[in-house]
A and B are shown apart, each in its own frame.
Chain A
């Protein structure tokens, strides 16, 4: 067992005893954490979350994040998150926020990207019903990032009857994780592209959220900027990328819902449409069943044909056992069709002749927060 896996396992065992976050000086400093460990297996090939999968399509994943929130004054908040991942350890994001009033709070630094339902809480397993997030939107699709480096404004307002309105606006840049296996379909294609990061600069974005008195949240998110391709057939070229979408989110005692649809246009290169719907139900306070459907479609300006490298369809069924609200054991079965994200077992010499294939993914793991 590797050191980081052992550390996460130790943290998991420690959570029930720890109970809750560490709070110092009446909320002047809060220390929270989140972590997870999982065993995953595919029937063949790889999956985007499997950079270390062995030849049998098996792999483990683990991570631990520590969040520090300091409030030295009523107006100033400083937040930083340290990430301990198998690949790296370091500051994931950190920013300072100055509150003029509840409607205007200015932020500067490396902030979580306010995008959709899950971008800000993508490493928080207890905030979602399935171990993995929808790959079509939160995977290496180039739609959302972990953090925005720049400045922003945020604010919220709630009526006495319970209606809430919140907004985020930001400028800066992000690093987008991108996997584009369909690049091999293009006339000028070289070798197949691997998972990499591209920089979106001159970025302007925002999110508007409406909360009903019953707790249903509707969101409109979007951003635009200049993307400079680092690899592949378009390397070195600048393109304008505009991404926008709608989200619905609900967390009740028994029912959890989340549904989103996003469109991304990299003008002159490609268009991408991705959507998912996810629902979960608590049959008892500890036993939860969950399901998700998702799909992604890519169209290339320079390729007219059809290929499974442009498609991803996935259906997931999961069962969770909540040992505590902050500690959950999850298992799920994923059926995938298409090779937008799941690599084919074998690739023909002419990639345009690749036929549709199915991939089965099994996930079992533990997620916790404190």
Chain B
């Protein structure tokens, strides 16, 4: 009995210590017609940095990002592997050399979802509690 209690206690401790699937703090959404169901973290990063500009279908990628600074910081750290300030430095180089502009910016989750729903090539990210009716949530794999 004592052994069983020890095993249960150790198992409980291990379960408590084991990380649950870490919540990234955002959800990536694409147009409902987009065949993708999952994307790698690197792919998502390339799409939002506009280094990958075409979907496999040939459609132009239309990334859209929220104005919410905290949400952008979470996404940036997780997906790009660097903070939003470093990503902003990347965009400054492209903007002011006349090469590219950052993703379209929308005020909130509803506007992001509406933009993604209306544009076949769109990809965006929203907060975990956002209503995503009419768009497809894709998983981001490491």
Contact = CB atoms under 8 A, between A and B. Distances in A.
B96 A123 contact: yes
Contact of A325 (B89, B95, B115): B89
Given A120-B96, A121-B93, A121-B96, A26 B104 contact: yes
Given A23-B104, A102-B54, A161 B42 contact: yes
A126 interface: yes
B98 A112 contact: yes
Contacts of B96: 32, 34, 67, 120-121, 123-124, 127, 369
Contacts, number: 89
B86 interface: yes
Interface in A70-122: 71, 74, 77, 79, 81, 93, 95, 97, 102, 111-112, 114, 120-121
Contact of B42 (A67, A71, A162): A162
B98 A325 contact: no
A111 B104 contact: no
A64 interface: no
Interface string A315-352: 00000001001100000000000000000000000000
A236 interface: no
B43 interface: yes
B88 interface: yes
B134 to A, nearest CB: 18
A20 B105 contact: yes
A145 to B, nearest CB: 14
A114 B97 CA distance: 9
Interface in A24-38: 26-27, 30, 32, 34
B105 A23 contact: yes
Chain B: number of interface residues, binned into ranges = 20 to 34
A26 B53 CA distance: 17
A23 B103 CA distance: 10
B85 interface: yes
A164 B51 contact: yes
B68 interface: no
B112 to A, nearest CB: 12
A179 to B, nearest CB: 25
Nearest to A29: B101
B92 interface: yes
Nearest to B85: A325
B42 A69 contact: no
B46 A162 contact: yes
A74 B101 contact: no
Contact of B97 (A112, A213, A326): A112
Contacts of A102: 53-54
Nearest to A369: B92
10 contacts: A23-B105, A26-B104, A32-B95, A69-B101, A93-B98, A112-B98, A121-B92, A124-B96, A162-B46, A213-B42
Given A26-B104, A30-B101, A126-B92, 11 more contacts: A23-B105, A79-B98, A95-B98, A156-B51, A164-B51, A251-B89, A252-B86, A285-B85, A325-B84, A326-B88, A369-B92
Interface of A: 20-21, 23, 26-27, 30, 32, 34, 67, 69, 71, 74, 77, 79, 81, 93, 95, 97, 102, 111-112, 114, 120-121, 123-124, 126-127, 154, 156, 158, 160-162, 164, 213, 215, 251-253, 285, 322, 325-326, 369
